[in-house]
Structure 1
Amino acid sequence: MTSDQKPEARHVAIIMDGNGRWAKRRHLPRAIGHQRGVEAVRKLVRSLKDTSVECLTLYAFSSENWKRPEEEVGDLMNLMRKFIRSDLPEFLANDVRLHIIGDWRGLAPDIVEMLEDALARTANGSRTLAVALNYGSQQEIARAAALAAAEGEITTESIAAHLDTAQLPPLDLLIRTSGEVRLSNFLLWQSAYAEMMFVDTLWPDFTPEDLRHALDEFAGRERRYGGR
């Protein structure tokens, strides 16, 4: 990229926060907030073909989310099942490749089977939707370091090669919705030189236009990677 070219974000990650608060403000059950959050995901994925984004990584279910009430966790798992069933044909039609990060094989067996099928059927997609399921970044780094140690010397390169995101482009931009300003154990290693944006919009209200605004702001930033 020459000095007069604006940077384009190839890999964007989003901490999708605010479903519960969105529902509470409207005196609705939290489950409705999560459903509206899935609709926001659907609209965003459809819009990717009109952007520079080659990979969108979404924080869908963290390893800490198991601490939530059993009913809410059950609602989230059922929503995941519905999303995979309903959106797999759309992924195929729009040339989207599904990639999962996290300890997703620790989910319910039927969900694991559905994910394995979706991964196989979308393997040749040109754009990637990476979904973090049962994911914790500290745990990911520990696993990667252990694998690197088993193979020999531990270096930044050997750890990076064993991260769940090793097949993805370097992270350019991380966005968190809902006004919270923290990473919540998400892509800690990958965020080392990523640009970050924290927006007040609750996730169900986040639109493709909001993403385009974020990409425009990213294009106006100067990325120095520690240099001048």
Structure 2
Amino acid sequence: MATNESEENRPRHVAIIMDGNGRWASKRGRPRLFGHQAGARRVREIVESCPDLGVKYLTIFAFSTENWKRTQSEVSGLMSLFRRYITKEAQALLKRGVRVRFIGDRVRLDAKLTAMMDELELLTSDNDRVHLTIALNYGGRDEVARATKRLAYDVASGRLKPEEVNEETLPKYLDTYVLPDPDLVIRTSGEARISNFLLWQSAYSEYEFIDTLWPDFTPDVFAKVLISYGGRQRRFGAVPG
């Protein structure tokens, strides 16, 4: 049972590195894509649980810029899974008041998928109950590099003065410019690394690394992690008064 203090100190923005789909499938003697399919179903449950848990913003790491190194069959299967997810979940997301955004570099994604991403963003653009951000072909270093390039163009064109470039200016060029920074970053599956995810945005985020594989990450497990977060004191470099 959560304490009153922890209930009041729930994170508003949670980011999740959804890891462990392949291992979950292997333990069952099934192909890796079977695990990714189970993981996609779990996303729906976690999104649905957000309002009751006080989570307004949820950002999930679906496919990284490094994931192209996986086998062609797994990459193709994942891209097909993304298309099916959008087709299957679009109306449900709309009805549940979920606003969907995608972050990452879309250049390498196929035209059909990017068109579906655009359509889902537009379809849900008036929703405000939960803001779901899906990181697809996303890498933190790649995002900062792309942001810096856009910033450099603005400086070169005279739209921005060099002396105006600071830590408040750069975030306006990031993919997440309309989102608050995450309060909490969760990684499932027992791995204790951030894997190039939201490098700039998570500078002062709390981290939680848990052993649970993503397909086993139920809303109850999610709630327990949020309660644990509620007992932490975030000082942002200051000394508690």
Instruction: Give the structure-1-normalised TM-score.
Output: 0.95
- Partners of 1:90 and 1:105 in 2: how far apart? 28
Q: How does 1:165-184 map to 2 (within 5 A)?
A: 165-184=176-195
SS at 1:191's partner residue? coil
- For residue 53 of structure 2, what is the aligned residue in structure 1? 51
- Count matched residues: 225
- For residue 159 of structure 1, what is the aligned residue in structure 2? 170
Q: Residue type matched to 1:211 in 2?
A: F
Q: Residue type matched to 1:102 in 2?
A: G
Query: How far is 1:105 from its partner?
Result: 4.2
- Partners of 2:183 and 2:121 in 1: how far apart? 24
Q: How does 1:55-204 map to 2 (within 5 A)?
A: 55-126=57-128, 127-149=130-152, 150=154, 151-153=160-162, 154-204=165-215
- Partners of 1:162 and 1:170 in 2: how far apart? 14
2:40 to 38, 41, 62: 38
What are the superposed Cα offsets for residues 7-66 of structure 1, whole Å, 9 maximum, x if unpaired?
A: 221100000000000011111111110000001101111111212111100000001111
SS at 1:196's partner residue? strand
Query: How far is 1:146 from its partner?
Result: 2.3
Q: In the superposition, relative to structure 1, how do residues 98 and 105 fare at CA in structure 2: closer, same or farther (>3 Å)?
A: farther
Query: How far is 1:210 from its partner?
Result: 1.1
Tell me how large the CA RMSD over aligned residues is. Answer: 1.2
- Partners of 1:138 and 1:152 in 2: how far apart? 24
- Partners of 2:53 and 2:108 in 1: how far apart? 34
Q: In the superposition, relative to structure 1, how do residues 99 and 181 fare at CA in structure 2: closer, same or farther (>3 Å)?
A: same
Considering only CA atoms, is the larger Rg found in Structure 1 or Structure 2? Answer: 2
- For residue 225 of structure 2, what is the aligned residue in structure 1? 214
Query: How far is 1:214 from its partner?
Result: 1.2
Would you identify which runs of 4 or more consecutive aligned residues in structure 1 move more than 6 Å? none
Query: How far is 1:73 from its partner?
Result: 0.3
- Partners of 1:69 and 1:145 in 2: how far apart? 31
What are the superposed Cα offsets for residues 127-174 of structure 1, whole Å, 9 maximum, x if unpaired?
A: 110000000100111121222232333211111111111101221000
Question: Which structure 2 residue ranges, 5 or more long, are not aligned?
Answer: 155-159
Instruction: Give the structure-2-normalised TM-score.
Output: 0.90
Identity %: 47
